[in-house]
Structure 1
Amino acid sequence: MHVVVNAAMSADGKLSSRRREQVRISGPDDFDRVDRLRAAADAVMVGVGTVLADDPHLTLDVGDRRVQRLRNGRPGNPARVIADSRGRTPADARILDGEAETYVLVAETASAERRRTLREAGANVVVAGDDRVDLGSGLRSLEAAGIDRLMVEGGGELIFSLFAADLVDELSVYVGPVVIGGRDAPTLADGEGFVDEFPRLSLTGVERVDDGVLLRYATGE
């Protein structure tokens, strides 16, 4: 599986404010770029924190891209994936609206009731891991289901965990012309943080987009 992480952050490296509320960081050109990335992916993944904070839809914005996918024998929208150890995704979340296949990765700690509720809401529930989602196991299950290219849109906890598990192949970061600040505001890679053996990136592209800059990296030396 090829994993592409894509995120937009402020000039000071924040994904949103300390209130975990969505902040407009990028502009129309970057929104279109993200839509193109989604159209090229087999599935789009977020963490449950993003679902609870933003209630994202994660479908394509441009109808012609859905049509092109259908012409190519693919679903109109990429599948959607949620990393949700305890199964906290609300049954009425937009990501479970039936517009695309949706997978919820849970751990053994997710109760049978929560798993049943998610299945009744239309989700494919994948159990991977004991206390927390084992991302390696979860992604292998997704790959077995036919997902070869996975786009990850956040949040910071999920992105950190993917880097920690050495599962990221590419990183695209849009740096917007805004300062958010706050020691408690989420960053690109939250979680415990690295203290040694820091993941190394190779810069593969720099591009001005809207009033910000897009940085593209490949993982490895």
Structure 2
Amino acid sequence: MAARPYVVLSAAMSVDGYLDDTRPERLRLSNAEDFDRVDQVRAESDAILIGANTMRRDNPRLLVNSPERRAQRVADGRPEHPLKVTVTASGDLPADLNFWHHGGDKLVFTVDSAVQRVRATLDGLAEVVSTGAEFDWGRCLDELGRRDVGRLMLEGGGMVHTQLMVADLADEVHLAVAPLLVGQTRAARFLGAADYPGRPTARMKVLEVRAVGDVVFVRYAPQGASLRTSEDALYRWACGRTARHRTVLHSPPSRAAPGRAGQLNHRGPRIRVSSVPDAAWRGRPCAVPGGSFVVQHHRPRSHHDRPQLPRRGVRTCAAAARSHLRGGRHLPA
């Protein structure tokens, strides 16, 4: 089975947790700097997903806006824009929305009772896939994994975010907290009331906090009762990267068993595991919950040097690296 994507929930909210207010026009929560940050996250993603309610309300194009970032994606052998994905149980997806007429490929996940309606409405604008009689996030992520989606960015809305958190399927949560108070009980919130894993004692791990203009950006790793382990997150993330880069995972000797560092050679990409002195441990850990690795990506020098792996090759590479690191205990804490 293909590895599921590394799932990033992304939202801008007010200090009191709202995504919007009740006015017809959209409440602007982010600033120009934060919009640029979001654009970078989009450019790093293989797919971007929003719910049907958010699509109908906001009518977004959902694109990578920076020409430089689009050009870099193409140079890396990727589509100019990430795959755009939406989910719907009702099948209510008007064909005139911006989502369908900008960017690259589009994909709709729905249920058996709505699949024919969606296909008739969109009529070739997007591929439509049913997850069964009821909507199943697990099947959705499995299908994205089969399509080589290594990193999935979810941009809302609140219902989608809530469902992913309840199902314990989010690997990271990105929150931009705007210095605003909404205070309207009928307005949309980032998360709704639900039976979250491990609540209310499961504290998330803070991965990053920084000011972006007048907005505070916080990056969390969920710590639910059934949270997938850090090593699984690492390899689901690495699985989507090894087809495009040679990846080096550095671990300090204090975190690794001696004599296990080395290089994993496969057809095309390489995952190299090496140790560096603790005194020189100044690298930036990769974006993995609890991660203690430094990840370096070496882009091929030319298109002749760029790895061209089938899906099976990417999975095999990641699986071999997992086995190697487990044997040497080169694992995040």
Q: Structure 2-normalised TM-score?
A: 0.63
Kindly provide the amino acid, as one letter, of the partner of residue 108 in structure 2.
V
The one of the two structures with greater contact order (alpha-carbon pairs below 8 A, sep at least 6) is 1
2:211 maps to 1:208: yes
Specify every segment of 5 or more residues in structure 1 that has no aligned partner in the other structure, as ranges. none
Whole-angstrom CA distance in 1 between matches of 2:86 and 2:196: 28
CA pair 183-139 structure 1, distance change in 2 beyond 3 A: same
Provide, for residues 36-85 of structure 1, a one-character-per-residue CA deviation record: whole Å limited to 9, x for no partner: 00000000010001001000111111011111100110000001010111
8 A contact 1:98–1:122 mirrored in 2: no
| Pick aligned residue for 1:127 from 121, 130, 139 | 130
Whole-angstrom CA distance in 2 between matches of 1:55 and 1:111: 22
* Equivalent position of 1:170 in the other structure: 172
CA pair 195-31 structure 1, distance change in 2 beyond 3 A: closer
Kindly provide the amino acid, as one letter, of the partner of residue 156 in structure 1.
G
Whole-angstrom CA distance in 2 between matches of 1:155 and 1:195: 17
Q: Indicate the SS of the match to 2:30.
A: coil
Specify every segment of 5 or more residues in structure 2 that has no aligned partner in the other structure, as ranges. 225-333
Whole-angstrom CA distance in 2 between matches of 1:104 and 1:196: 28
Q: Indicate the SS of the match to 1:167.
A: coil
Bigger Cα Rg:
2
Q: Indicate the SS of the match to 2:19.
A: coil
8 A contact 1:17–1:180 mirrored in 2: yes
Whole-angstrom CA distance in 2 between matches of 1:168 and 1:92: 31
Kindly provide the amino acid, as one letter, of the partner of residue 170 in structure 1.
E
**Overall identity of the aligned pairs, in %:** 36
CA pair 196-72 structure 1, distance change in 2 beyond 3 A: closer
Q: Structure 1-normalised TM-score?
A: 0.93
2:181 maps to 1:179: yes
Whole-angstrom CA distance in 2 between matches of 1:196 and 1:41: 26
Q: CA RMSD in A?
A: 1.7
* Equivalent position of 1:194 in the other structure: 195
User: What displacement does 1:117 show?
Assistant: 2.1
Whole-angstrom CA distance in 1 between matches of 2:164 and 2:217: 21
User: What displacement does 1:21 show?
Assistant: 4.6
8 A contact 1:8–1:15 mirrored in 2: yes
